[in-house]
């Protein structure tokens, strides 16, 4: 519902979801919400236990 609002009312063209590649449940949530995996951003985020690769999921308005 929020994604529909973002595209239809707020006028966005693209919405991205980033999460740690070490968190498979987040990957499943993003994919179930219609955000396919686009790639891995290597060592992109600094967490308390060090640098993490981050998954990038995205939807564009035409999807």
What digits encode the pLDDT tens for the residues 6-18? 999 999 999 999 9
pTM of the model: 0.87
Number of domains in the chain: 1
Residue 37 near residue 27 (C-beta atoms within 8 A): yes
pLDDT band at 63 (very low <50, low <70, confident <90, very high): confident
pLDDT digits (tens, 9 = 90+) for 10-50: 999 999 999 999 999 999 999 999 999 999 999 999 999 99
Among 42, 62, 61, 60, smallest CA distance to 52 is for 42
- Show the domain range for 49: 2-60
> Which CATH number belongs to the domain containing residue 55 in this structure?
3.40.630.30
């Amino acid at each position: 519902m929020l994604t529909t609002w973002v595209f239809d009312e707020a006028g966005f063209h693209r919405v991205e979801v980033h999460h740690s590649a070490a968190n498979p449940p987040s990957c499943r949530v993003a994919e179930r919400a219609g955000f396919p995996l686009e790639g891995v951003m290597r060592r992109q985020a600094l967490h308390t236990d060090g640098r993490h690769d981050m998954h990038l999921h995205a939807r564009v308005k035409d999807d």
